């Protein structure tokens, strides 16, 4: 094997710690589809169905310590933090 491609530096670090490998590791971030850069025509209907408020914080990812959900929640709960609800997806 000449090289490995991973999506994040964290994955590269985990790989180096747990898997002995002589291959070069390249971090290539995941791309974002052009379809995701604009709202769908029925976005308002979907938000209503999900009972989403007009403004909120969206956190997407696995719920595990290294993702920092605790830090996000602490920041939002801080006295001068924004008064926004959190939607967790993961």
Decide if 38 is inside a domain. no
Within this chain, do residues 57 and 88 fall inside the same structural domain, yes or no? Answer: yes
Decide if 59 is inside a domain. yes
For 12, the domain range is: 1-31
What are 26's strand-pairing partners? 5
Decide if 44 is inside a domain. no
Q: How confident is the model over 6-48, as pLDDT tens digits?
A: 888 988 999 889 988 888 889 998 777 777 778 888 999 999 9
Band of residue 81 on the pLDDT scale cut at 50, 70, 90: confident
Roughly how many angstroms between the first and final C-alpha of the chain, as a whole number?
Answer: 32
Within this chain, do residues 25 and 57 fall inside the same structural domain, yes or no? Answer: no
pTM of the predicted structure, to 2 decimals: 0.59
Decide if 48 is inside a domain. no
Decide if 37 is inside a domain. no
Instruction: Give the CB-side neighbour count of residue 84, counting CA atoms within 13 A.
Output: 16
């Amino acid at each position: 094997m000449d090289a490995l491609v991973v999506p994040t530096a964290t994955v590269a670090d985990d790989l180096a710690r747990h898997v002995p490998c002589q291959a070069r590791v390249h971090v290539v971030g995941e791309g974002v589809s052009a379809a995701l850069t604009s709202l769908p025509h029925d976005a308002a209907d979907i938000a209503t169905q999900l009972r989403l408020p007009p403004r909120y914080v969206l956190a997407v990812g696995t719920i595990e310590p290294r993702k920092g959900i605790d830090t996000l929640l602490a920041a939002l709960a801080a006295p001068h933090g924004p008064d926004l609800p959190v939607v967790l997806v993961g």
